[in-house]
Amino acid sequence: MIYLFCSAFRPLYKRDALESICYPRGHLFRFRYERKYIDPRIIKSPKDFEGKEGIIIFLDTVGKARRKKFDFFPIRKIRTVRIFPLGLAIYIDFKFGDFVDYGPEDDDNRRTKWCSFFQNLSDRPWPPPKTSGRKDDEPEGYFMLFHPQNNPHFPVEGTAGQETWENLARRLDRTNDLKGSTFLQVLGFYKIKRRYILGSRSEDLIKSRDNSFDSFYPLPMGKSVVLKLLLSRPGYDSTIGEDRRVLKVKLGKESFAGVSKETIYFESRYNQERIVLVCKRVFDSVMSTIAIDQENEPSSVQSPKPFLLTRIEVPKYIVGIVVLGVVLATLLLGFDSELIKLVGSWILPAHKEFITENAKVLSAVAKSSAAIPIAVSAYLAFRRLPLK
């Protein structure tokens, strides 16, 4: 198993830790490490570690001055996509998996076992010598570490996904380095569908797609979708006026005709937000972005900054029906009496005499019927496609 360790030593690392519990399952993400912090086995043959299962571990700094050490908090499972060197660093692309389940909030047995396991690893990470009191020539350990066997079991969320995430957020809020942060989870995009013609409606999750480098979310053009967010601030104090936080939703105006809210006021310990997005009608699929930022954020990063790539797609059936309608109408208009006799005698030889006698009538009926596919094509073109 591959372990990706993430500390809060720098603002960028702290944001990585917060964003590790922010994105939906299956979303592609990237970490960057300096070579000296990577297991030599991975540097030697990075391709051997692609497609492997791993765990993201948050490192909380604990202990007294010049005696600092790390406490270990497994966050969520991942699966590696690619590992490659670039300059003085190694980059790893991976897909997010399930969140690690710590069990009941008042039960610390699992975390204690995991922490003991990591502390006993010889190559596990350490804080810098100036803060840990270790000698300058002592290694700081590896922040990307491969451990092939005897790994502990990390149960995942199962059916209680939101409860597991909220439990994890509360535990991270009690750490030294992430205390007071804004914890955010993007649940994903949902489209409202009717189960049957007269059945009840439901919200169906839109699964992400990727090209092995970026994740994007396909949204239906000309319709509304719902973006769901989970927000958690376990330490929120409503008696402190300055404790209110504001999140801004920024989206590409070229692809969205409207949004139900662009500002989210976070004034509770736990909440779910539903943001309705109206997708524009387009002739061709277009890419757009959605970003969520915390307003007036202090210099120390206290909130993740999720960035979602979307693609407004023209349903293929619309184009197919429009083209088919035009072709069918053209064929029906071409059925004169002579063609009726020829085709009818060939397809229905037993009714040749009837077809010959009524060829003109059948031709008039066929030409009149051409209005039906033209009307259907026109309806779809004017109703679903943009008029620009």
Distance of CA 182 to the CA centre of its chain: 19
91-105, 281-295, 319-333, 364-378: range with highest mean pLDDT:
91-105
Structural domain containing residue 214? 180-314
- The residue type of 24 is P
In this structure, are 255 and 352 located in the same domain?
no
What pLDDT shows up at residue 221? 84
The three-class DSSP label of residue 270 is strand
CA torsion angle 163 165 170 172 (round to 10)? 160
Q: Report the alpha-carbon distance of residue 8 to residue 16 in Å, rounded.
A: 9
Chain segment 227-239, per-residue pLDDT in tens: 999 999 888 877 7
State pLDDT tens for residues 246-259: 999 999 878 888 89
Q: Which of the listed residues 178, 209, 224 is the one where a domain comes to its end?
A: 178
Same domain assignment for residues 125 and 254: no
- Kindly list the distances between the CA atom of residue 306 and the CA atoms of 266, 278, 350, in Å, as whole numbers in the listed order: 16, 20, 70
Looking at residue 214, the DSSP 8-state letter turns out to be -
Confidence of residue 97 (pLDDT cuts 50, 70, 90): very high
The confidence score (pLDDT) of residue 354 equals 80
Q: Do residue 238 and residue 337 come from a single domain?
A: no
pLDDT the model gives residue 241: 64
| Contact in structure between 74 and 100 (CB atoms under 8 Å) | yes
Quick one: what percent of the chain has pLDDT higher than 70? 94
Considering the domain architecture, whether residues 47 and 132 belong to the same structural domain is answered as yes
Number of domains present in the structure of the chain: 3
What CATH number does the domain containing 271 carry? 2.60.40.10
On whether both 287 and 242 belong to a single domain, the answer is yes
Tell me the pLDDT band of 242, cut-offs 50, 70 and 90.
low
125 pLDDT more than 80: yes
Query: Which three-class secondary structure state does DSSP give residue 374?
Result: helix
Higher pLDDT, 96 or 361: 96
For the ranges 36-40, 45-49, 134-138, 319-323, which has the lowest average pLDDT?
319-323
Q: What is the mean pLDDT of residues 377-384?
A: 68
Amino acid letter, 2: I
User: Do residues 213 and 350 share a domain?
Assistant: no
Based on the fold, state whether residues 380 and 257 are members of the same structural domain.
Answer: no
Which has the closest alpha carbon to 134: 81, 63, 72?
63
**Spatial separation of the C-alpha atoms in residues 154 and 164, rounded to whole Å:** 13
Please state which of the ranges 27-36, 221-230, 354-363 shows the lowest mean pLDDT.
354-363
pLDDT band at 357 (very low <50, low <70, confident <90, very high): confident
* pLDDT tens for each residue of 292-333: 999 887 776 788 999 999 998 877 777 777 788 888 888 888
Residue 74: what pLDDT?
Answer: 96
Name the more confident of 237 and 190. 190
Q: What pLDDT score was predicted for residue 211? A: 87
CA 13 to chain CA centroid, Å, is 21
End residue of a domain, out of 263, 279, 314: 314
Q: Tell me how far apart the alpha carbons of residues 57 and 275 are, in angstroms, rounded to a whole number.
A: 31
Whether the per-residue pLDDT at 106 is higher than 70: the answer is yes
**Is 237 or 386 the better-scoring residue by pLDDT?**
237
| pLDDT at residue 343 greater than cutoff 70 | yes
- Residue 21 above 90 pLDDT? yes
Would you list the DSSP string of 92-158?
EEEEEEEEBP--STT--HHHHHHHHHHHT-TT-----HHHH---TTS----SEEE--SSPPP--B-T
End residue of a domain, out of 116, 143, 178: 178
